[in-house]
Structures are given as structure tokens and as C-alpha cells.
Amino acid sequence: MRVASIDVRLERRLAVWRGTALLVTSGSLLLALVVGGIFLKLTGHPPLDVYRELAKTAYFNWYGFTDTLGASTPLVLTGLAAAVGFKMNLYNIGAEGQLFLGGIASAWAGIAIVPGMPGPLAVLTVMFAGALGGAAWAFIPALTRAYFNTSEIVTTLMFNFIGLYLMQYLIQGSYSYWRDPKIVGFPQGKEIVDAARLPHWNFPADSMFGIAFPPGRTQVHLGLAFGVIAALGLWVLIERTRFGYGVRVTGDSPAAARYAGISIRGSIIVVMLISGALAGLAGAGIVAGQGYKLDPGGLAVALGYTGIVVAALARSNPFAVVVVAVLLGGLRTGADNMQSAPDNLKIPVAIAGMLEGAVLICALGGELFRTHRISVRRVPSNSDREEHLSGAVGVGVSP
Amino acid sequence: MSPGDLASALPMLRIRGVTKSFPGVVANDSVDLDIRRGEVHTLLGENGAGKSTLAAMLAGLYRPDSGTMVLDGKPVNFANPREAQSRGIGMVHQHFRLVERFTVAENIALGDTSQPWKLDTRALESDVQRIGEEFGLPVRPDARISDLSVGERQRVEIVKTLYRGAEVLLLDEPTAVLTPQEVDALFVTVRAMRESGKAVVFISHKLVEVMAISDVVTVLRAGKVTGTVQTRDTNQAELARLMVGREVELSSLRAMGVRGSALLSVSCVGLVASKRHVLRDISFDVHGGEIVGIAGVSGNGQRELAETIAGIRAPSTGSISVASQSVGGKGPRKTRAAGLSFVPEDRLGTGLAPSMSIAENLLLTRPRSLFISKRKVQAEAAQIIADYDVKAPGPDAVTSLLSGGNSQKVLLARELAASGDGATSNHVLVVASPTRGLDIGATESIRKRLDDLRQRGGAVLLISEDLEEVLALSDRVLVIYDGAMVYECDGASADRTTIGLAMAGAIATENSGHV
């Protein structure tokens, strides 16, 4: 039989098998690597060698892996910030700005209120201040969304710019409380007190699991624990509490929420505040765990936006957010570490951002295949069809 | 034999052994069908019997998996609806496909590739006018769709199909949205189309209408043809048997016990939404042990009334009380706590959260503690699946994957659970269109549950656009029109014509006092 045309259609899957999600996600990641590989090839880098080196420096090397965990810490929190909103179809694009405000608030706390406090209390106070700062920055978009139905996508995005310029003004544009007056030349923030700094994990001097460790300080700090606890807490809140139930119902169908007497307004405001607080914590973690001061350059590296990618890839599952954050964090670390690699592997740092983008696009595209499948059918040519149709009863119209 | 005789003797459209499967279900199983000119051919069957799938294949929306379709002696295999249209097959869908902001003429021209690049509105309008007159379809070509009633919109759909040269018209459940008077007008049109030699395929599950309008009836059950009969040789009982495969009697159910005290009192309720009076001075009581039915054409305030009683909307004026507790405007939870349950018209999306499981949906209208426990509802969901014969894999099945009947059973079970399971109840249940889109089996079971609550002393307010249903169950019938109660009568002795007139707004509001 001659094939005249091939009929390709998308059909909805009746039931989504759990494994499909994993398969589609892995497939999307693979496709993203292929797309990235094409770019690498075009810019004259051997893709396979680059990827191998990237993986080695980011994951399969203790220094690299701890660097990755350090870089992932804020991503875990901004990822959770985006994920909690996604649970009720609330798109908080403002984790970026909320992170800045968290940084500003925690730096202030670290300079102004914690001196004299014992270590643990100082740390908690600084982190709490960060969460509060982030939540405050989310509060106004939350109110306008809840009461005037303004798009939170637009308002939170605008607030990112206000937050960014506010932060830059505090350090570079004025002699504010946050700026260190003693430093002349390039303006820098005032350092927070020692007690408020997040402790780092140090390699044990000898060995663990039979592997010898080189001693020394790593990039892994207590902020990671905040991230993991936040993931656990968020899961319990969403899946196991009355409030989380209301959030899920509202996300699924606002009409059902209204019918059940669930306060949609209340859910919007609380979810936005939680989201902002998580992003604020990310900012506080950077201030108290990495820079020890308000450092616009260290904070404004698109951690909030990448958090959205993390949440989307993790399909808003808090535990998956942790895993995906580590994966994407590794991309950043790997690209950074490869600056010291041989020339043909020295890739631009921007390649990490490009790969992030490719991963997101492939994952969002892949989402379609999680819920749908492709059916390909050969349609017989016209003359064929006529013969069949005019023949006996019950001949196949299409195979 | 003259060509004309030949044409009338041979079927215009001949379908043999057509099969169409969807994942998990065979929608049509080697269906044979002959459609003749000048004939009204009904496809009768329950929901899910495969009528719409068959029609969709005729209209080019689906392709058959196997089988043949021969139109005027030539085999056809439509790739899309446009191809079917060009061969003279047109479909009027149950859900209209009209652009509200366009005029009638613009809608008719929309997507019609034979139109010139610059629309000749005058020629178009005169054509529309002419078709309308010929087939008894009065439409104003320059009227905007948004200003038209449902019946008028349907006329536009029919004119659109005729304008594109349809010789075979597929009407998918055309009477579902019409008042009795509008149905009569539609039938005049259908007869005119038959007289002019067109073939009309009428899809329905309403036996009375089928008997009234069709020449031939083909009955489908579970995707198979169970019989093709001439209307003059059959009767409703035989068609019903062919349709469901057993003798069924959807008999009327009435109150047996004594009428109790007023459990639901609605007094002088008015509602203004978007500066429009949606409800006007509505007053009635529903007593224990009775079902009060509210009939009306959709969009006359039924939805708003139900939502106001259920506490989802706050009334602008007036008061509502449940079991002597004032609840008006206190919100859904307080209203429920006073003893009222509500089964909304929109099951999936309002009554049930679609992507949540059956078990999780049980929590929707329950008082919830700070931490929710899934284990308790899990067992209850399993119990409901067993008691109500819900076809679902288990308590964790997502409700959006259930059929209409099964999701309605879950919803009703959840709402009835609040009425207590003892011999008596003083619970109020508000149900909106409880059996819409359900097959006879599910309809029967749902109606029995409503009757059961009544016999136990509960009060049921039944709001439905299906007049048959209101008449079959209600002890008293109220008619709502334009947000006001315009007519009241006893359920058993109700006069259909008068109710039809009231539904169409032909009876003024003199009867709208306190009932």
C-alpha cells in the first residue's frame, strides 16, 4: 500500500504513569544538553569534553561538590519560593527583589541589633530579619492581587527593579547605614558581627567512608539546613494541613474553593508572604553565610529568576526542588571552575545561563508529552482508499 | 425508473461497519446507518452510547478506525469538518460556536472560504434573510450574538449550516437548551427542511421528542446499533427498551410521609450583581419531607439563587434561614453547619476539585482540623465507592477521570453524608441539575437518593432546567423567570403548557407572593 500522508496527532493520555514524569524530565535534560552541545560546537569547544569536565568539577570532586552545594543553597530557597506560589497558580516572579530586601534586612540586623547576642540567637535573628524583609516586599503585590486582582507577575517583577536600585543606592549611591565608611575606593557594605555568621562545614581532617578528605573550609554553610528544613516544612504545610489543602483546592479550581468557603484572598496573601519570606531567607543566607555584608554584586546574580526555573523543573514538589537546585547550582559552579581549565575547555560563564535556559525550554516543552502522547498513523493514498472503500464491507479506512 | 425515484429509494448516505475506538473504550462498534433525503432520522441513545461520536465522524471531526461511508454513491473519508461541509454535511453543535461580539451575518461568513476577500454584507444579509424565511428561522442578520437568546442563537447555527449548502444536517441534542415553545418552533423548521428534501439527523435521548419529530429511529447502546425502526411502527416503551436493554420506568416519585416544618425559608431575597438585578424579591419555604422543584430556562437566576442559599453569595436584600437559624450572607461554612448541603450544577470544578482524588474531595465540605488526615477519608471514600456503585479504581482516583455519572455520585454521596444515616433527617439539600448528562441508570439511582432523603424527612430544593425531572420528583413546582418566581403549582397536577409559558416569561409576576 502506498502511503499518501502520515497523520500525526497529539492524544491526551488517560492516565499519567508516574514514571512518565521522570522519563520526560530526563529526556528534556538530555535534549537541553544536545542543544547546548550545538552551541559549544559552534563556539569551537568540544561538547563532550566540556560536559565531562563540567560534571567533574561540579559534582565528582569533593571541592567542586561542596562548592555546588554552597551555590545551590539560595536556589533551594528561591525555588521553594516559586514552588509555593505555583501550588495555587500564583506566579511570584519577585523572588529576586524579595531576596535583595531579605539581604538588606538581615545585614541591618547583623550590624544593628545582634551585637552582644549569643551565637545561635544572633544567627536566628539575622535569618528571621531576612525572611521578614522578603515577606514585606511581597506584601504589597499580595494585597493588590488579593483585593484588586492586579497581575502579581507584573507587580512583583516591577518590585524587583525597585529592590535592586534600592540595594545599589544603599551601598554605592549613598553613605547609608549599610555602607562601610572606613573603606575608601570601591564602596562596600559594613560587615555583620562574627556571632551572626552562619557556620561553615569543614572537611574532617582524616577520612570518611574510607575516602581521605583534604582538610579545610567548604562553601557549605548552615543556610543549606535552612533550605532543607524549609522544603520539609513546606511539604507538610501544603500536603498535610488545612491551610495547604485550601491552597491546593484554590490552585485546582477557584470555584471549588469559593463553594467550600475557603478564603481565596487569605490564601493569596499568606502564600505570597511565605514565598517572599523564603526568598528573603535566601538573601539572608548569602549575607550571613557568604559575604558577611550587603554586597549588591553577590546578591544580584539572578538567583530569584533561576528559582523559577528550579520550581518549574521540580514540578513544584519541595523535595524535587532541593535536587534540581543542586543540579542547576552545579552548572554555575562548573562554569566558574572551568575558568582555570585548559584553553579549549575554557567556556564563557554565560554558557551556564544558556544551559539553564535550554533546560527550562525543553522541560516546559516536555510537559506536553507528560500529559499527551503522539500518535502516528499512516494514511493510505487516495486511490488506495477508494479501492478499499468500494470493495467489501468493513475494510480499514486507516491502518 | 426516473433519476428522482432512484434518489429517494437509495440512501443518500450509507454507513457500513464503522468502528471508532478511543483509548479504553469502543465508542462505535461496526455501526450501520442509512440516511435518506426528505427524512428525519433520529440517533437515540443514552449518554455515552456513541451518538455524538457517530455524528462527529459524519461531520469530519473524527475519522473512523474502520468501515465505510458512502455519500451519493462515492466513498468519503473526511479529513476535517471543512471537507464534510463542502460535501454537504453540516453539524449544529450542542455548544454553539458563535462569536458573541460579531453580528449574525458576520458569524455566518466566519471561516467560509467561499466568501470574497471583502465581505459583501448586503448580499450576505439578504441570503440569510431568505434562508430564514424559507425554513421558518426568523433571524435578524445585523443583530449581535450577545443580544440573542439561546433559542435565537441556535437558529443562527442552523442558518449558518444551511447557508453553507448543507444537505445533511446533524442536530446534536438541539432541544436541551430550549423552552417547550422554542422546541415547537424548532420542529417546524425541521419539518420544513424535510419537505425541501434535506436529510436531518436528530440526536436525542428524549423519547417524547423523538416520537414527535422523527421518521426513522436508530438506537445505539454501548456503541452498537440495537435497532433501526420506523417511528410509526414503534412506541416509547420499545425505544426505551432498545436504549437501555431492559424495561425501565422512570416513574414519578412523590412524598409519602407528612409534610414537616419549614426547614429552609427564603424570604424577600434580592440580589444585585454587576449592577443588575439577578434575583428579585424571592420568597418560598421548603418543608421537611418534600421536594420543591424550581423550573426555568437556564440563565434566569437559578445559579445565583442556589449560590445565595448555599451562602456563597450574600443576598442584597431579604433573609434566609435553615432550620430556624438565620444564615443569609454568613458564608458557606456557617450555612453548612446549620444543616444545609449543596450539590452545584457544575460538578467538576465547583462541587469537586478536578485534579484531586475522591478521598481528598470528601474533605472539601467537611469541617477540617488544623492537620488533615487522609486515612479517615480514605476509608470513607472506599465505602462510598461500594455503596453508590461508583466505577473508579479506588479512593485515590482523580475525580476528573471519572465519568459524569460517577463524579455526580461521589458529590451527592458526600453531601448526603451530612444528612445523617438514621431513619429521620432534618437536613436541607439544594441540588442543581442533578442528573444532567447522566445515563438512565445513574439518573435512576440519583433520583432514588433524593427521594430517600425526602422520605426520611429531609427538605430538598431541586433546581433544574430539565422540566421532566422537576415534574417527576417535585411535590411543588416553582417557575423562575428573569430572577423572579412567576408561577407555582402542585407537582402531581402540574400543567406542562402553563409551566412552559411561565418559563418563557409569558406569565407575569402576579403569583410571586410568599409561597
The CA distance from B484 to B375, in Å, is 46
Report, as an integer, the average pLDDT of B410-433: 89
- Residues 6 or more apart in contact with residue B463 via CB below 8 angstroms: B293, B294, B302, B305, B306, B345, B430, B431, B432, B433
The shortest CB-CB distance from A395 to any of B68, B363, B371 is to B68
DSSP code per residue over A90-152: ----THHHHHHHHHHHHHHIIIII-TTS-HHHHHHHHHHHHHHHHHHHHHHHHHHHHHH---H
Which grid coordinates are listed for B101?
461580539
The shortest CB-CB distance from B353 to any of A249, A390, A397 is to A249
Are A241 and B371 in contact (CB < 8 Å)?
yes
Tell me which residue has cell 466568501. B115
Are B364 and A256 in contact (CB < 8 Å)?
yes
Q: Which CA distances in Å does A196 have to A126, A133, A153, A228, B469?
A: 7, 17, 34, 20, 71
Winning range, highest mean pLDDT, from A167-171, A381-385, B137-141: A167-171
pLDDT of res. A14: 57
Residue type, B446: I
**Residue A339 falls within a domain, yes or no?**
no
Query: Cβ(B412)–Cβ(B341) under 8 Å?
Result: no
- Tell me if chain A has a CB within 8 Å of the CB of B364: yes
Quickly state the pLDDT bin for A390 (edges 50, 70, 90): very low
**Looking at the predicted structure, is the pLDDT value of residue B400 above 90?**
no
**Looking at the predicted structure, is the pLDDT value of residue B249 above 70?**
no
The CA distance from B446 to B463, in Å, is 14
Report, as an integer, the average pLDDT of A255-279: 96
pLDDT of res. A335: 83
Report, as an integer, the average pLDDT of B221-237: 89
The CA distance from A232 to B121, in Å, is 65
**Looking at the predicted structure, is the pLDDT value of residue A72 above 70?**
yes
Q: Which CA distances in Å does A276 have to A73, A292, B61?
A: 16, 21, 48
Q: From the CA of A152, how many Å to the nearest CA of chain B? A: 24
The CA distance from A229 to A73, in Å, is 12
Q: What is the mean pLDDT of chain B?
A: 87
**Looking at the predicted structure, is the pLDDT value of residue A382 above 60?**
no
Which grid coordinates are listed for A125?
535573628
**Residue A230 falls within a domain, yes or no?**
yes
Interface of A with B in 76-95 (CB under 8 A): none
Q: Which CA distances in Å does B289 have to A204, B55, B166, B255?
A: 78, 44, 52, 7
DSSP code per residue over B27-87: EEEEEEEEE-TTEEEEEE--TTSSHHHHHHHHTTSS--SEEEEEETTEE---SSHHHHHHT
Query: Cβ(A108)–Cβ(A178) under 8 Å?
Result: yes
**Residue A263 falls within a domain, yes or no?**
yes
Side-chain half-sphere CA neighbours of A282 within 13 A: 38
**Residue A12 falls within a domain, yes or no?**
no
Are A396 and B310 in contact (CB < 8 Å)?
no
- Tell me if chain A has a CB within 8 Å of the CB of B367: no
Nearest residue on chain B to A258, judged by CA atoms?
B312
pLDDT digits (tens, 9 = 90+) for B202-227: 998 777 888 899 999 999 988 899 99
Q: From the CA of A308, how many Å to the nearest CA of chain B? A: 23
Quickly state the pLDDT bin for A153 (edges 50, 70, 90): very high
**Looking at the predicted structure, is the pLDDT value of residue B166 above 80?**
yes
Report, as an integer, the average pLDDT of B477-504: 86
- Chain A residues whose beta carbon lies within 8 Å of the beta carbon of residue B30: 394
| Residue B352 phi, psi (nearest 5) | -130, 145
The CA distance from A237 to B372, in Å, is 10
Q: From the CA of A68, how many Å to the nearest CA of chain B? A: 36
Q: From the CA of B303, how many Å to the nearest CA of chain A? A: 12
Nearest residue on chain A to B75, judged by CA atoms?
A389
Tell me which residue has cell 439561546. B150
**Residue A307 falls within a domain, yes or no?**
yes
Are A11 and B23 in contact (CB < 8 Å)?
yes
Q: What is the mean pLDDT of chain A?
A: 86
The stretches of B229-350 forming alpha helices (DSSP H) are 236-244, 302-309, 332-337
Q: State in Å, rounded, how far the first CA of chain A is from the last one.
A: 10
The CA distance from A325 to A303, in Å, is 11
> Domain count of chain A?
1
Q: From the CA of B263, how many Å to the nearest CA of chain A? A: 21
Q: From the CA of A255, how many Å to the nearest CA of chain B? A: 5
- Tell me if chain A has a CB within 8 Å of the CB of B352: yes
Nearest residue on chain B to A399, judged by CA atoms?
B65
The region of weakest confidence among A192-206, A294-308, A311-325 is A192-206
Encode burial over B138-167: b for 16+ CB neighbours within 10 A, e otherwise.
ebbbeeebeebeebbbbbbbbbbbbbbebb
The CA distance from B11 to B18, in Å, is 16
Quickly state the pLDDT bin for A391 (edges 50, 70, 90): very low
pLDDT digits (tens, 9 = 90+) for B31-84: 999 999 999 999 988 766 888 889 989 999 888 999 999 999 899 988 888 889
pLDDT of res. B4: 44
The CA distance from A96 to B358, in Å, is 38
**Looking at the predicted structure, is the pLDDT value of residue B307 above 90?**
yes
**Looking at the predicted structure, is the pLDDT value of residue B291 above 90?**
yes
Interface of B with A in 48-107 (CB under 8 A): 63-68, 70, 75, 77
The region of weakest confidence among A374-388, B91-105, B159-173, B441-455 is A374-388
- Tell me if chain A has a CB within 8 Å of the CB of B430: no
Cite the beta strand spans of B142-275 per DSSP E.
168-172, 199-204, 216-221, 224-230, 262-273
pLDDT of res. A4: 55
For chain B, the residue count is: 515
Encode burial over B475-504: b for 16+ CB neighbours within 10 A, e otherwise.
bbbbbbbbbbbbbbbebeebeeeebbbbbb
Nearest residue on chain A to B335, judged by CA atoms?
A261
Mutate which: B63, B341, B375, B430, vs A, most A CBs within 10 A: B63
Beta bridge partners of B485: B480
pLDDT digits (tens, 9 = 90+) for A12-24: 665 666 677 778 8
The shortest CB-CB distance from A252 to any of B333, B351, B356 is to B356
Are B63 and A397 in contact (CB < 8 Å)?
yes
The CA distance from B168 to B193, in Å, is 10
Winning range, highest mean pLDDT, from B8-12, B313-317, B500-504: B313-317
pLDDT digits (tens, 9 = 90+) for A29-60: 889 889 989 988 888 888 898 888 888 888 88
**Residue A180 falls within a domain, yes or no?**
yes
Torsion of CA B236, B240, B241, B246, to 10 degrees: -140
pLDDT of res. B267: 94
Are B16 and A389 in contact (CB < 8 Å)?
no
Are A256 and B349 in contact (CB < 8 Å)?
yes
pLDDT of res. B512: 43
pLDDT of res. B442: 83
Report, as an integer, the average pLDDT of A104-133: 94
Beta bridge partners of B228: B218
Residue with more model confidence, B68 or B240: B68
Residue type, B204: S
- Tell me if chain A has a CB within 8 Å of the CB of B396: no
- Chain B residues whose beta carbon lies within 8 Å of the beta carbon of residue A395: 66, 68
Q: From the CA of A148, how many Å to the nearest CA of chain B? A: 16
Report, as an integer, the average pLDDT of B90-116: 86
**Residue A209 falls within a domain, yes or no?**
no
Interface of B with A in 305-334 (CB under 8 A): 310-312, 331-333
* B314 closest CA partner among B334, B338, B331: B331
**Residue A182 falls within a domain, yes or no?**
yes
Which grid coordinates are listed for A152?
502579581
Q: From the CA of B75, how many Å to the nearest CA of chain A? A: 6
Which grid coordinates are listed for B83?
471537507
The CA distance from B45 to B38, in Å, is 23
- Chain A residues whose beta carbon lies within 8 Å of the beta carbon of residue B332: 258-261
**Looking at the predicted structure, is the pLDDT value of residue B136 above 90?**
no
Are B77 and A385 in contact (CB < 8 Å)?
yes
**Looking at the predicted structure, is the pLDDT value of residue A114 above 90?**
no
The region of weakest confidence among A321-335, A348-362, B141-155, B292-306 is A348-362
Interface of B with A in 253-312 (CB under 8 A): 310-312
- Residues 6 or more apart in contact with residue A386 via CB below 8 angstroms: B75
Report the run of H or E that residue B489 belongs to, with start and end: strand B484-490
pLDDT digits (tens, 9 = 90+) for B15-30: 999 999 876 678 899 9
**Looking at the predicted structure, is the pLDDT value of residue A398 above 50?**
no
Residue type, A268: I
pLDDT of res. A152: 95
The shortest CB-CB distance from B63 to any of A240, A248, A398 is to A398
pLDDT of res. B430: 97
Tell me how crowded residue B16 is: count the other CB atoms within 10 A of its CB: 18
ipTM metric: 0.79
pLDDT of res. A256: 95
Tell me how crowded residue B9 is: count the other CB atoms within 10 A of its CB: 9
pLDDT of res. A214: 66
- Chain A residues whose beta carbon lies within 8 Å of the beta carbon of residue B331: 261
The shortest CB-CB distance from A241 to any of B312, B365, B370 is to B370
Residue A268 lies in domain = 70-203+218-315
Report, as an integer, the average pLDDT of A355-369: 82
**Given 3-state DSSP classes, what are the helix, strand and coil percentages for chain B, each rounded to the nearest 5?**
35, 25, 40
pLDDT digits (tens, 9 = 90+) for B349-396: 899 999 999 999 999 998 888 898 888 899 999 999 999 888 888 899
Mutate which: A248, A253, A395, vs B, most B CBs within 10 A: A253
Interface of B with A in 369-388 (CB under 8 A): 369-372
The CA distance from B286 to B305, in Å, is 14
Q: From the CA of A31, how many Å to the nearest CA of chain B? A: 29
pLDDT digits (tens, 9 = 90+) for A197-250: 999 988 766 666 666 666 677 889 999 999 999 999 999 999 999 999 999 999
Strand order in the sheet with B199-204: B89-92, B168-172, B199-204, B39-44, B216-221, B224-230
Which grid coordinates are listed for A57?
568539577
pLDDT of res. A211: 64
The alpha carbon dihedral of A283, A289, A294, A300 has a sign of negative
| Residue B513 phi, psi (nearest 5) | -75, -165
Mutate which: A259, A262, A377, vs B, most B CBs within 10 A: A259
The CA distance from B417 to B483, in Å, is 31
Report the run of H or E that residue B283 belongs to, with start and end: strand B276-287
**Looking at the predicted structure, is the pLDDT value of residue B1 above 50?**
no
- Tell me if chain B has a CB within 8 Å of the CB of A396: yes
The CA distance from B17 to B67, in Å, is 5
pLDDT digits (tens, 9 = 90+) for B324-337: 999 988 999 999 99
Report, as an integer, the average pLDDT of A378-386: 48
Quickly state the pLDDT bin for B175 (edges 50, 70, 90): confident
The shortest CB-CB distance from B67 to any of A14, A255, A394 is to A394
The shortest CB-CB distance from B350 to any of A240, A255, A397 is to A255
pLDDT of res. B515: 41
The shortest CB-CB distance from A260 to any of B332, B355, B371 is to B332
pLDDT of res. B9: 59
- Chain B residues whose beta carbon lies within 8 Å of the beta carbon of residue A242: 368-372
